[in-house]
Structure 1
Amino acid sequence: MSGCQASVLCGAIAGLLVVEVASASTIQIIEVQLEQTPTGLTLQLETADGERPPIVISQDDQTWQADIVNVQLAPGASLTEIAPAPGIDAVTVAALDNHRVQVRVTGGEVIPNGDAAAVLVFTIRPTDTANSSVLAQAPDAETSPEGDRTDEPTSLEEVDRSETLRLNVTGEGAGSEYFVPNAGTGTRTDTPILEIPGSVQVIPREVLDDQQVIQLDEALRNVSGVVVDSTEGAGFQYSIRGFQGARLLRDGFSLSASDSLSNSGLITLPETANVEQIEVLKGPASILYGEIQPGGVINIITEQPTPEPFYQAQLQVGSRTLIRPQLDFSDRLNADGSLRYRLNALVSRQDSFRDFDQGLRRTFVAPVMTWDISDRTTLALDFEYLNDERPNDSGLLAFGDGVVDVPRDRVIGEPDDVVERDFFGGGYRLEHDFSDNWKVRNAFRYSSQDYNASAFTPLAFVEPAGIAVRVITATEWYQDYYGLQTDVVGTFATGSLNHTVLMGFDLSRNFSDLNARGNLFARSPLNVFNPTYGTVPRLSFDQLPNAARVQEFTTTRLGFFAQDQIEIIPGLNFLAGIRYDTVTQEVENAPSLFSPMGSEVDQTVDAVTPRLGIVYQPLPELALYASYSQSFTP
């Protein structure tokens, strides 16, 4: 049986200050030149006409960045220069999605200021000087305390036609590291958040670093409407806007289980070491991701190789003897930089706050390699491995209106109760630009998760005597996932309307195999006020006589989708989309103690889900939207 939920959303979102409203036509950058001058460097970007593009400036202690909006970078015009001048480690000019070009300057210890030997002068120069205009030079900023950030737009000012668009990079930080202008989760295209008719919240890497985030739930505390449903040993489960079992994605692919066994919860606790940012889309999103709960989705975006070399070593120490060394490396693999890698790795050790023999042990490695096959074709390969061992902790016992009055470090099971998880994931992403306006994307991902647990599990509590009645249990749980996504993204104009079109399909398969056993008729009592452990020997999984639950669950999904984002006039955008899904679920329950006869259930559900939305920006930093969307679950 399927359920369908609809939602009409209205709201306001605040954000980016952009220099000038983007023009209706895309400006082409035909040439990029970097030259040394007596005072430092001059970077010139030549455009094919005299129009001035919008530009967004951000800066921290070591990096200055300019995002140029509504432009296309001609094939072969990208630039990467390593150590072009003293005090400047790298200068890169690269094309991004959705008609954007990014200029990025990385300094040694700090970005050069006006007194440094190397000052970069950044110029956008039309080939035709007619209607040319100039960016007013940014005044030297006063040195601010470390970590202090401001967000000031660069102003545009008309001058004589013989001048060029100029910007001097001087002074220190001029942007907010916490602000992310674009997100892909809300539309599956790289779209400014202010143009998405929905609620999208992004947690960037800078927030994770400043808050010293280790677990995903710590990061999601920054998002309103997202709460942790369960912190049991099987992993975290999340609710969005009150709907349980929120789907968790990694780079657009499902990371969490999606079946009746785990209610979209996780067998494996995801690692945050290689997270670039976390995007949360609130509201029904089946148009984009198929059968999910109407609360929304959580999408973890992972770090990719950088154009310039990057080496970082970090050590976190904390309470309960936490020690967490971490490496993050990125560099070229060949001379021209077309082959690049990034490697994240860590080892984590920490004692439990309860009296378990087993502490928290975690090992993680995640290499990524990107290959620019040509100016128009890019292939990325990624791999992840995670091993996690920790106590199998069922918590304290309920007593009356609260919990039993024992120290919080008291173990109700056995001190050597343990759970071990192994996660493996890998895949590829292939992107090819047919032209400046059309591209195709194809991606595949495979993941497998193993969960093995053994514990003395409380079944009852005899309150007068303070006796917890326990039985020994063990669980072997395996899951694998295959996902394939292919889509085409194109931009074009029909009269005065500018379109960004998305069409594609996705195919996935989840398989889950659960085998839970126990010695359910051999009880192991424990006095919780004066415990004596180790009175009953621990049996291995194969030695346990009772099969409590044996279940195989397979879910196969196929979806086709189409979407059109329409810019009616600058500041007014309309979105329309539709999706067709077919979902097949097969459940096989083998004979067990609680289901002696076993059972089999098969079902196939088809659904069509629409989406409509409109966004109006009366001010550059304010957007008003209304949307209608649906979500369904089998």
Structure 2
Amino acid sequence: MNKFILMFLLLFLGAGALLAQTNLGTIQGTITDKDNNPIPGLNAALRGTTLGNVTDADGEFTIGEIPTGSYQLMISGVGYQTQRRSVNVTEGQTLQLDFTLQPSLTQLQEVEITGRKETTYQNEVSFIGSKTATPLQDVPQSVSYVTKELILDQAAFRVNDVVKNMSGVNQYSFYNDITIRGFRVAGQRNSGNLINGMRAFTSFWKQQLIPHIERVEVIKGPASALFGNASPGGTINRVTKKPLDETRQSITATVGSFGTLRTLADFTGPMTEDGTLLYRLNLGYENADSFRDLQYDNNLIVAPSFSFLPNDATRLNVDVVYQSSDGRLDRGQAVFGDGDLFSVPITKALNAANDYLREESLNATLSFQHQFTDRIKFNSVYLHSNYREDLQEHRAANRFAALGDGGIDPEQVAMQAFIRRRNWSNDNFNNYLTLDLTTGPLEHQLLVGYDYFRQTLKPGGSQLQARRYLLADRTGTSNFDPENADAFALDEAGNPIPNVPHFDLTDPFANQIRDMSDYVYDTRLFPQSLLHNHGIYLQNQVTWGPLQVLIGLRQEYYIDELDYRTEDEERVSQDAFIPRLGLVYELSDRINLYGTYVEGYQPQSASVINDPDAGGPFDPLISNLIEFGAKTQWMDDRLSATLAIYRLRQEGALYNANDPDNPDRQVQIGEEQSQGIELDITGQILPNWSIVANYAFNEAVIQVSDDETEENRQKPNAPRHTGNLWTKYVIDRGAFAGLGIGVGINLVTERFGSIVPEGENPPLFPGYEVVDAALYYQLDKFRIQVNVNNVLDQTHWVGGYDFIRAFPGAPRNLLTTISYTF
């Protein structure tokens, strides 16, 4: 890593030499919008001088009599995003510099209120890196994203469908469960999943739906200086579609393999003639089966959004997302005890026909921005989130069936059954003030803010659980002990009788309805809990010529009230001071170099883990990131690329203890580290040729552990190498105009499963290469597309815990989509 630092400093110092001056020249150019129309009335000025001009009716400008030297040319104007470009002027030279500007929908806002009008794979501005509308080029940290255009082209419907398009981001399991740079980000935690930059409670079991999402973005590494409680690997932010100030309407229908039926609708535009009130309504419905036995999904999404813009200084937005889901919880594929992944079909799930998982969630956001002066802006955002879980399931007990002689039956999976209901409520309140200042040659964008977050597990959370083996009197259960076999109910062969019948992997009728009335149940309570935190943070983004410095500080106060409102109520408090430092240097008008150091913090109290049987108390996760990289723009800013080199360290991660008496107990690992390199390329090679490509090398290892056999081993579900390419080409002229083709390939190397008992080797899941393809045809307002996923029908596994919980990827499947825009 010292070599990386030295390289960065040499590049930094070498770039300074470019600023040396030599004596008169001229700059001229043309400024157009994204549709190639000239833009009159824009300012073209050399920063730090009085030299400048305004574009004429043809969008042209000329700045003459410029002393030779190095300058920064700034193009700005109302309604468009400002562009800056470093230029070198030499005597007698006339520089021709042309610009294409994007509409600015973020001049007054510091959270997104009105929608993004771009219609490409590329996104240029985000709030996730600094809580202000900052060009991604100027964010001193790697940020990957997927826009709604790529989501549509790949016929994606869930976050897990699109993470392959972002370097260093992979599936961990079937669930809402992702790994970023080798560190896990999972649902039912408030540390790694954001919606519009706010912490929302999400399901752990079901992957997050995205038909109402403008883009999915990931900031790599801990983002605790901005958001407080944050996952070390990174933070996933889902940005919902916002109202536009122009009318757009579309209806989409998809049918395909596994009985898939999806219908989507998206309506937006002004509600008043003066455009002060805008609306957007997204609707989504899915009814689909699966390649996995008994699995199905019925999903409904209703997402209205309203923006009120009474004047140029004030903006108000109301954003609501309601989702309901009905299906079954798929715990993965079990194979025979010898670990042959091909010994059992990837279609076989362990559910019973009377299992179900019903979920309901509501996220309601109120955002307010007001600009007091051209330098002072105030932002206030409130998010209320509800999540309800109603579950009945049969699942593996994470071991094979016990035999009376102490052995196991490798074709029979020990089972358990749960009936569970829980309900959470979240409130997130965020207020911050931004102040633009100039002190001599320095330009400052100061931000001071206060966050409050509150999460409540409501009364009534409880679970009936049936597991283990029946005792001789059949009134109780326990783990089978062959040394005390007489204490247990035994069958004719002398084997213990399970409380929940074993699942026979060789039985084609094993998924039948199960009679649950004879099970012996234990009652497990989830006592009402309350956790909340307060965060005070400061941030200064300083610009000095081509150099930008970001300094952030946050003080976090975390409180968890266990057994809330009971005699056993216990208050757990933790504080954390979190710094952040970032540098961006504009090496040229196309290349920015950056470096960053940031620390991370994530509490792991009982309420956060949502599992009283996990053990503990546990210390919080502590992490830090050092990262250097470069960000570039090419081909008239149509194509962007980010190269990142990083080292990420963490202390205190939790892993399953593999305790036969308590399968939910976890243990805390000492130290982990991931280091590697990532490359992301996104945009257009030509206006009709789009591309998304990424590669990541990630060495993520456990460095310190109580079990020495785990040390220096690659972390679970963290491949060393991943790569992805997706490209789409559309014929734009001739007899085949409107016809397009898309092709993609996703490569993932082998991965270890989860930690296993001491002395045993973890399961190894093979690498894979999956090819996808698509055909498109655009005819006026109609578009039809056919997506073929896993064209070569490769059997593969996207992740896994062990050989009883492996997560196979889908075989070859086809989706046909028809869209109408009006």
Give me the TM-score of the superposition, normalised by structure 1.
0.69
Confirm whether residue 400 of structure 1 aligns to residue 299 of structure 2.
no
1:533 Cα deviation (Å)? 4.9
Assess if the C-alpha contact under 8 Å between 2:354 and 2:514 holds in 1.
no
2:146 counterpart SS class: strand
Q: Which runs of structure 2 are paired with 1:96-115 in the superposition (5 Å)?
A: none
Assess if the C-alpha contact under 8 Å between 1:458 and 1:471 holds in 2.
yes
User: Which whole-Å CA distance do the structure 2 matches of 1:500 and 1:223 have between them?
Assistant: 30
User: Which whole-Å CA distance do the structure 2 matches of 1:293 and 1:559 have between them?
Assistant: 16
Assess if the C-alpha contact under 8 Å between 1:557 and 1:583 holds in 2.
yes
User: Which whole-Å CA distance do the structure 2 matches of 1:53 and 1:576 have between them?
Assistant: 35
2:184 counterpart SS class: coil
Counterpart position of 2:462: 515
Counterpart position of 1:380: 317
Assess if the C-alpha contact under 8 Å between 2:307 and 2:317 holds in 1.
yes
Counterpart position of 1:573: 548
Assess if the C-alpha contact under 8 Å between 1:9 and 1:628 holds in 2.
no
Give the direction of change, closer, same or farther, for the CA distance of 1:299–1:584 in structure 2 (3 Å limit): same
User: Which whole-Å CA distance do the structure 2 matches of 1:385 and 1:517 have between them?
Assistant: 28
1:45 counterpart SS class: coil
Length, aligned pairs only: 483
1:576 Cα deviation (Å)? 1.0
Aligned equivalent of 1:334, options 268, 272, 296: 272
Counterpart position of 1:484: 429
Aligned equivalent of 1:196, options 139, 149, 152: 139
Confirm whether residue 529 of structure 1 aligns to residue 506 of structure 2.
yes
Confirm whether residue 446 of structure 1 aligns to residue 393 of structure 2.
no
Aligned equivalent of 1:618, options 578, 584, 587: 587
1:270 Cα deviation (Å)? 2.3
Counterpart position of 2:578: 609
Deviations 1:317-372 (A, max 9, x none): 2211211110000022112111110000011111121331x621111110000111
2:244 counterpart SS class: coil
Counterpart position of 2:305: 368
Identity %: 23
Which runs of 5 or more residues in structure 1 are unaligned? 1-6, 14-20, 22-40, 55-67, 74-93, 102-133, 139-152, 156-174, 258-264, 592-597
Q: Which runs of structure 2 are paired with 1:196-235 in the superposition (5 Å)?
A: 196-231=139-174, 235=175
User: Which whole-Å CA distance do the structure 1 matches of 2:368 and 2:249 have between them?
Assistant: 26
Confirm whether residue 292 of structure 1 aligns to residue 230 of structure 2.
yes
1:273 Cα deviation (Å)? 1.0
2:226 counterpart SS class: helix
Q: Which amino acid aligns with 2:501?
A: S
Confirm whether residue 241 of structure 1 aligns to residue 181 of structure 2.
yes
Assess if the C-alpha contact under 8 Å between 2:420 and 2:463 holds in 1.
yes
Counterpart position of 1:308: 246
2:160 counterpart SS class: helix
Assess if the C-alpha contact under 8 Å between 1:8 and 1:628 holds in 2.
no
Deviations 1:528-570 (A, max 9, x none): 3123554742459xx984213524332201101111111111x
Q: Which runs of structure 2 are paired with 1:312-327 in the superposition (5 Å)?
A: 312-327=250-265
1:137 Cα deviation (Å)? 11
Aligned equivalent of 2:538, options 562, 584, 591: 562
Assess if the C-alpha contact under 8 Å between 1:485 and 1:505 holds in 2.
yes
1:100 Cα deviation (Å)? 8.0
Give the direction of change, closer, same or farther, for the CA distance of 1:305–1:456 in structure 2 (3 Å limit): same
Assess if the C-alpha contact under 8 Å between 2:300 and 2:325 holds in 1.
yes
Assess if the C-alpha contact under 8 Å between 1:508 and 1:556 holds in 2.
yes
1:313 Cα deviation (Å)? 0.6
Aligned equivalent of 1:466, options 386, 397, 411: 411
Q: Which amino acid aligns with 2:592?
A: A
1:207 counterpart SS class: helix
Q: Which amino acid aligns with 1:577?
A: G
Counterpart position of 1:496: 441
Counterpart position of 2:367: 429
Give the direction of change, closer, same or farther, for the CA distance of 1:469–1:610 in structure 2 (3 Å limit): closer
Assess if the C-alpha contact under 8 Å between 1:396 and 1:404 holds in 2.
no
Q: Which amino acid aligns with 1:243?
A: F
User: Which whole-Å CA distance do the structure 1 matches of 2:442 and 2:535 have between them?
Assistant: 28
Give the direction of change, closer, same or farther, for the CA distance of 1:326–1:299 in structure 2 (3 Å limit): same
1:8 Cα deviation (Å)? 9.1
Give the direction of change, closer, same or farther, for the CA distance of 1:412–1:278 in structure 2 (3 Å limit): closer
1:464 Cα deviation (Å)? 3.8
Assess if the C-alpha contact under 8 Å between 1:186 and 1:196 holds in 2.
yes
User: Which whole-Å CA distance do the structure 1 matches of 2:371 and 2:410 have between them?
Assistant: 72
Counterpart position of 1:35: none
Give the direction of change, closer, same or farther, for the CA distance of 1:284–1:411 in structure 2 (3 Å limit): closer
Aligned equivalent of 2:284, options 320, 330, 346: 346
User: Which whole-Å CA distance do the structure 1 matches of 2:193 and 2:5 have between them?
Assistant: 23
Q: Which runs of structure 2 are paired with 1:139-150 in the superposition (5 Å)?
A: none
1:70 Cα deviation (Å)? 5.8
Confirm whether residue 270 of structure 1 aligns to residue 208 of structure 2.
yes
Counterpart position of 2:793: none
User: Which whole-Å CA distance do the structure 1 matches of 2:97 and 2:229 have between them?
Assistant: 51
Give the direction of change, closer, same or farther, for the CA distance of 1:10–1:510 in structure 2 (3 Å limit): farther
User: Which whole-Å CA distance do the structure 1 matches of 2:149 and 2:557 have between them?
Assistant: 39
Give the direction of change, closer, same or farther, for the CA distance of 1:403–1:549 in structure 2 (3 Å limit): farther
1:585 Cα deviation (Å)? 1.1
Which runs of 5 or more residues in structure 2 are unaligned? 12-18, 20-36, 46-50, 56-72, 85-93, 102-117, 186-190, 402-407, 468-476, 478-498, 604-822
Assess if the C-alpha contact under 8 Å between 1:385 and 1:424 holds in 2.
yes
2:151 counterpart SS class: helix
Counterpart position of 1:390: 327
2:528 counterpart SS class: strand
Counterpart position of 2:52: 51
1:154 Cα deviation (Å)? 5.5
Which structure has more relative contact order (CA 8 Å, sep 6+)? It is: 1
User: Which whole-Å CA distance do the structure 2 matches of 1:10 and 1:307 have between them?
Assistant: 46
Give the direction of change, closer, same or farther, for the CA distance of 1:574–1:335 in structure 2 (3 Å limit): same
Counterpart position of 1:18: none
User: Which whole-Å CA distance do the structure 2 matches of 1:428 and 1:280 have between them?
Assistant: 23
1:222 Cα deviation (Å)? 1.2
Aligned equivalent of 2:562, options 587, 595, 603: 587
Counterpart position of 1:30: none
Q: Which amino acid aligns with 2:418?
A: T
1:213 Cα deviation (Å)? 1.4
Assess if the C-alpha contact under 8 Å between 2:201 and 2:426 holds in 1.
no
Counterpart position of 2:129: 186
Deviations 1:468-513 (A, max 9, x none): 3333311112111101111111222111111111111110101235
Q: Which amino acid aligns with 1:189?
A: T
Assess if the C-alpha contact under 8 Å between 2:302 and 2:322 holds in 1.
yes
Give the direction of change, closer, same or farther, for the CA distance of 1:449–1:225 in structure 2 (3 Å limit): same
User: Which whole-Å CA distance do the structure 1 matches of 2:528 and 2:299 have between them?
Assistant: 28
Q: Which amino acid aligns with 1:318?
A: G
Give the direction of change, closer, same or farther, for the CA distance of 1:48–1:467 in structure 2 (3 Å limit): closer
1:270 counterpart SS class: coil
1:236 Cα deviation (Å)? 1.2
Q: Which amino acid aligns with 1:581?
A: E
Assess if the C-alpha contact under 8 Å between 1:8 and 1:627 holds in 2.
no
Give the direction of change, closer, same or farther, for the CA distance of 1:308–1:539 in structure 2 (3 Å limit): farther
User: Which whole-Å CA distance do the structure 1 matches of 2:437 and 2:576 have between them?
Assistant: 30
Assess if the C-alpha contact under 8 Å between 1:180 and 1:204 holds in 2.
yes
Give the direction of change, closer, same or farther, for the CA distance of 1:355–1:220 in structure 2 (3 Å limit): closer
Q: Which runs of structure 2 are paired with 1:623-634 in the superposition (5 Å)?
A: 623-634=592-603
Assess if the C-alpha contact under 8 Å between 2:400 and 2:409 holds in 1.
no
